[in-house]
A and B are shown apart, each in its own frame.
Chain A
Amino acid sequence: EVMPTLDMALFDWTDYEDLKLAA
């Protein structure tokens, strides 16, 4: 089974702005 790649647009970055910048 091939799983879909992570969709960055689905993440809620509200509490993780620093993580978003790193990504």
Chain B
Amino acid sequence: PDPCHDEGGAPRSCVPGLVNAALGREVRASSTCGRPASRTCDASDPRRAHPAALLTSAGAAPGPLCWRSEALTQSPLNVTLTVPLGKAFELVFVSVRFCSAPPAAVALLKSQDHGRSWAPLGFFSARCGHDFGRPPAPAHGPPGPGPEALCFPAPQALPGGGGLLAFSVQDGSPPGLDLDSSPVLQDWVTATDIQVVLTRPATTGDTWDSTATGTYSYSAAELQVGGRCKCNGHAARCRPDPQGHLLCDCQHGTEGPDCSRCKPFYCDRPWQRATAREAHACLACSCNGHARRCRFNMELFRLSGRRSGGVCLNCRHNTAGRHCHYCREGFYRDPGRPLSDRRACRACDCHPVGAAGKTCNQTTGQCPCKDGVAGLTCDRCAPGFQQSRSPVAPCVKTP
């Protein structure tokens, strides 16, 4: 079954499945051990390297399982992990599995413009005021009205020495917001890139501060970004193009990486995101097969009761009008052919001498005849008239 159309072929909202958007993506780490090589880490030796690629390879690479930062000795001890997702996704969760005791403070950021600007999604620390200058998150989520980046407890330490940071986009969103109807929630969950900033390493208790001395490092095995490829309800899957860029497989007359605009000929009404109730498919302009391009006119759309605003451009086959639905001057409708026929409009063919003009009646094809002249094209004298020698008055009354 086609998830984007019902059994009758009518469009319906469709979304790609939930995936780990970070899987196979190239992670950039601001610090990775092994350059220069140490006893336990050598970037040039695959058996002893701890590259950031391990975070998104799902254990596919041989050798060590964990990425590791350099040994950090001086404040600030920030290390940043950046994952470009390749295109816009609608986030569901972000998780980081740490190989050693988890950091005491982490900031989670997102970009919606491929890394040009960043906005926080959440902060994680037992000392929110100290680390981020923010109060701890209220027990029942943000007071609203919109989602916001809150400061949550520090990543959880797991038995055996590892740790886990788990963030759900719902954690920053007030209850009751619906993705279909809330543009602010749509904006909140949308990201093209994710950044995890490890700002304070694990220490014994809360005693660490900027004057502390020692050697610290971060280590993590997996970074997951759970989400759906963002297609605005107009595609059920995303696929890589020949250059490897991920694109929505757009339906409903839409196009673009996120199906966020109508295809050129599908502009009879404005683009809209699909909802569970209404697919809001882009509609093709009605040009009776005589035009390849059209443009949207908001004034006409309003006047039509928000039903149709498309205006056909460059009507061909001698047609004219907003929908190429009548014949242009000098042509008339052939009643024997449907309006969509290439030859639906016939030339008037008014007689050069018998007709008083070149434009015929667009419905009947009747040319305007001079006095005493008859026929559809004014090519003969009416009964009771005979041809004269004057081209100005070609027919005169029969004596």
Contact = CB atoms under 8 A, between A and B. Distances in A.
A23 B383 contact: no
Contacts, number: 46
A19 B354 CA distance: 12
Interface string B364-386: 00000000011100011111000
Interface in B342-399: 351-354, 373-375, 379-383, 387, 389-392, 394-395
A7 B380 CA distance: 9
Given A22-B352, A23-B353, A6 B389 contact: no
A14 B391 CA distance: 10
A3 B380 contact: yes
A23 B350 CA distance: 11
Nearest to A20: B391
Nearest to A19: B391
A7 B353 CA distance: 10
Nearest to B373: A6
Interface residues of B, number: 19
B353 A5 contact: no
B96 to A, nearest CB: 85
A7 to B, nearest CB: 6
Most buried by B among A5, A20, A22: A5
Most buried by B among A4, A6, A7, A19: A6
A6 B383 contact: no
A18 to B, nearest CB: 10
Contact of A11 (B374, B379, B381, B389): B389
Contacts of A13: 391
A6 B394 contact: yes
B374 A3 contact: yes
3 closest A-B pairs by CB: A23-B352, A12-B389, A3-B380
Given A19-B391, A23-B352, 7 more contacts: A4-B381, A6-B379, A6-B380, A11-B390, A16-B392, A19-B353, A23-B391
